[in-house]
Each structure stands twice: as structure tokens, then as C-alpha cells.
Structure 1
Amino acid sequence: MQLLQFFFVLLWMTLVTAKTSTTTDTTYPTRSGINIWVDPATPSDRQTYTSSRGRKWDLVMSDEFNVANRSFRPGDDHIWTSLEKPDGVNGALELYSHNMTSTKCDDDGTCYFFIKSVDEVTVIHVYNMYTHPPGYIDANFFYRSAMVQSWNKFCYQGGMLEVRAQLPGAVSKKSGNPDLAL
């Protein structure tokens, strides 16, 4: 029996940084006036933010995820890349796959980014240099899911991050430990 779970990051993700003026800035304005990493569908009232101390922050990156069936395979998206690899950190149990993430739109036009998880055992034959003697072993992964990243495309170095996400309800043995790691 397969367990099917969906993780949703609804509508948008934004990054803002404090506005500073420097003489070494090599960023040139675009014809539209919108920063190059800002989704044109981001509402204009979300393009700036004023802190409680009066400091103005400009939107640097946003993604509304408002187009259905986006592919995050390498080279398909200008911001995000999905991974196709086993998660080998901390004895992880999952295999990341490109086909486990995309975007969908509801009948009312609300679009969202999703990650799907499926219970299935995958065995991968891998070389392990830490066994004595080193050699090939079978590594078991018990479910397939997805991970997307912006590595080598957009580097978040500081500022304010705002995410609107809907994760599965109560955590149980079936749901595992859903989270949004930044």
C-alpha cells in the first residue's frame, strides 16, 4: 500500500533586504523597473516593506508559483532546481526525485508549489569506502520525495524571509516529520 502526501507552499515566497546605497553597485535597472529576481505577478504593495523603526526594505526575490505544471528539473527553471539523489545525511531514509514536485492550480485559480511523498522501497548499490574492506553495499531508501534548491542561482545572504506554507495536519507515523527548512 502506498502512502501519498502533499506538501504545499501556497502562492508566494519573498525575500527582502534593507535598502542601502553603495558606490560599487553593479546592478542596473530593468526596463520594467522590477528587480530581476522578483516575480512580475508579485503585487506592487508587496515590493517594499517599512520596518517598525522606519527602515525601508526593497523586495529582492519573489516567486508566486502561479503557473501550473512548472518543471524544476535542472535547466528548466530560472530560480529553483529539484534534486535527483539519495539523501545521505544523518542516516536519512528518502530518495529525492525530480518528478515529485511541481506546481498546480485549483479550480478557483489559486496556484501552489507542492512536494509529493510516496512510500516505496528503493535499493541502490553504492560504494562504501568506510567498510572494512571498502566495497559495494546495498542502501535501502524507504520513501521517495523531493527537494528544491536555488544553489548557484540565487544566494540568500541575509535579510528578511517571508514564506506562506501549509503543511500536513497533525504529525503521525504516517505523516513523518514534515517541515520547511531554509
Structure 2
Amino acid sequence: MSDFTHFNAQGRAHMVDISDKTETERTAIARSSVFVTKEIYNKITGNEIKKGDVLAVSQVAGIMAAKKTSEWIPMCHPLSLKGVDISFDWKITEDTYELVINVLVKTKGSTGVEMEALTAASATALTVYDMCKAIDKGMVIGKTYLVQKTGGKSGDFHRSLEEDK
């Protein structure tokens, strides 16, 4: 069992002790997306969704989720986040409307913020779905993944542009 960091000597789950780890600046960028219809795209960009400003509400939901990640993910340490920034881009082709969600999370601490960034991206996408589902329940939440992370003992991670397609 010693190869598994989240198990104790009895083979039972435990939260890893990070008290000896050095505090460093840590960042993580995660991405998700939601594929919507042209009608939903027009209503989001025209601020015509009856539940309100989809991007503003989804952004707040994502920030709240980042702050509460340790309550969602077992064994995840509660962190004092120093910053959360969520931005949106539209990727439009002839018949595809994809809302791309980018999340940047920062802290200075003993453990990374990858889970906070991924949780924020997921909650943001789910909130877009929730706010638009009255128009079309066929929306698809796209890939959710870590784009990059910096800081910590394991070093930096940067997804290659080829992997990001």
C-alpha cells in the first residue's frame, strides 16, 4: 500500500500530510466547453436568456466552486485561493457554436490548485447548461482538462498545442 499516497498503513483512505511541504506560488489553468445551438448562442450574446446573464452567473458559480472544491472532492485540501479568473471565448464554425471556458486559479501554499481549476471549469459549464436547458436540453459539455500548472515539487505541466485540439 505504500505506493498509494492516499492510503494509510492499514490500507484505509487518509488525507495526505503536507505540513512539511514548502509553500510556493502555484497556478493552474483548466478548460471546458459547452456546445450550444445557434438560438442559444444568439440569446446568450444578446442577453436574452430568461434566467439572466448566463456568462456572469456561470462565472460566479465557477468561482464559488473553486472555493469549495475540498467539499466536493474527497481528500482534497481546503486552500486559501489568491485569485480565480474565468473567461469565455466563442469558437464558431459553419454549424457549431462552442462556448470555451478558461479558468485560472492561483494560490501560495503547500499543494497545487489543479482540482480547483478543474472544478471551477466544470461548475461553470454545468451552470451554462442549467441556465439554457429550457431552450434545448441537447447541449453537450465538451472536454474538461488541465491546460497547465506551475509550482510545486512535481514541477510545471504544459499541455502541448497538438493535445489541445
> TM-score when scaled to structure 2?
0.37
Q: State the structure with more CA Rg.
A: 1
> TM-score when scaled to structure 1?
0.34
More helix by share: 2
